[in-house]
Amino acid sequence: MTTPRQAALNMLNQVLAEGRLMSETTTLRALEGLDGPSKARALRLANETLRNIERADKLLKPHLRKLPAPYVQNMLRLAAVELAQGGDAHGIVNEAVALVSKHKKYGSMKGLVNAVLRKTAADAPGKFAIMRAPRLPKWLRGPLSEAYGREALAAMEAAHHAGAPIDISVKSDAAGWAEKLGGTLTSFGSVRLQDAGQVTALEGFEAGDWWVQDSAASLPAQLLDAQAGEAVLDMCCAPGGKTMQLAATGARVTALDASETRLKRVIENLTRTGLTAEIICADALTHESSYDAILLDAPCSATGTIRRHPDLPHAKTGDGFSELIELQTRMLAHAASLVKSGGRLVFCTCSLLPDEGEVQVEEFLETHPEFSADTSALERGGIDPAWITQEGGLRLRPDYFAEQGGIDGFYMAVLKRA
């Protein structure tokens, strides 16, 4: 029977050795056979290890003459992080040894695992507590340092290491749901849960009263300000958080995505929440119609979501980003062609890279004089005027609201057609 540690090790090996994202590892049955609480624990173990690989390697280094095979190294990392965070040393070491001993190729290294972890357990918590927040890889650290400066970069790395609470968007009465679930309200009107546990078991989930959505991710749909009866397009809609926000306004929502698999998730979410939208599976670049308002959450590097997805810096290398940026440019131009006269378009990406945000909108405005950035839409509670960028967009960073648990890094702009 698979244990949470075994599942976590499986996910780590796929992320670190094969370059897969965590979402791909779970699709590949990494959590098969585990019940809800065990799945949650496996994910927590894997994510905590990914957040703390730099620290784990420092703890292990004095006890290793040379690096072992990746499978064994990842087992040591997983166990070291658990030990450093105060886990039961006896249980952690014993299971780590057992898992390695069962491996056909590396079973002979069980003695090494036992010796290294018993030495690491002695001083891991003390050393761990005084280590710096782990740094981002060079392929990402360089561009972010250039864009925001070293001080801001250090603050973002600290936010990434801290992880993320669970934010939910509610159909109505956010204050009431915050009280029911023991949460707090964020500056953007989401309900924040610090220790949510198994989300699907919480009151209101099955009834469809709310859905999980980072507070920053909820803002683009709020800025679009869809009105009842308006024709609204959610372009690249999956997994559907923004679609549900738009549908809850009473607008006539079209939810468009190129992936049938991802659209199944959108349909499931709409069904659970009792909200409706027209679902279209098609390439966004070939879709033709006209709309009062369009929300384009474009495919991007997702570098703004690292506090929730610590696998991303390890599974990606920065390759392919230029193709993504080109796709965003084409999608933005096509979306603009679908906006009715006097209509509006919100462009957003969950990226920290200016090339996927500020630069995109600056160049768009230069080539589309019929559009202008509506900065008045950004004059609302929770938004610091200092976050409004030179071209008229809004830049959010993970270190904003750090004392309350931070937010995802996002860029968004409200573009109005004359």
Quick one: which of 297, 287, 286 has its CA closest to 245?
297
From the candidates 236, 237, 348, 350, which is the catalytic residue?
350
Task: Establish whether 281 is a catalytic residue.
Answer: no
Q: Using CA of residue 337, residue 338, residue 344, residue 345, what is the dihedral sign?
A: negative
CB within 8 A of 191, min separation 6: which ones?
A: 167, 168, 169, 170, 174, 177, 178, 181, 183, 184, 185, 210
Q: State how far the Cα of 378 lies from the Cα of 388, in Å rounded to an integer.
A: 8
Alpha carbons 62 and 57: distance in angstroms, whole number: 9
CA dist., res. 403 & res. 159, Å (int): 10
DSSP class per residue in 67-94: ---HHHHHHHHHHHHHHHTT--HHHHHH
Q: Count the Cβ atoms, other than its own, within 10 Å of residue 107.
A: 11
Cis ω before 354 (30° cut-off from 0): no
- Cα–Cα distances in Å, from 273 out to 94, 168, 211, 306, 392? 45, 13, 8, 28, 34
Residue 181 to residue 356: CA distance in whole angstroms: 36
Q: Which residues are catalytic?
A: 350
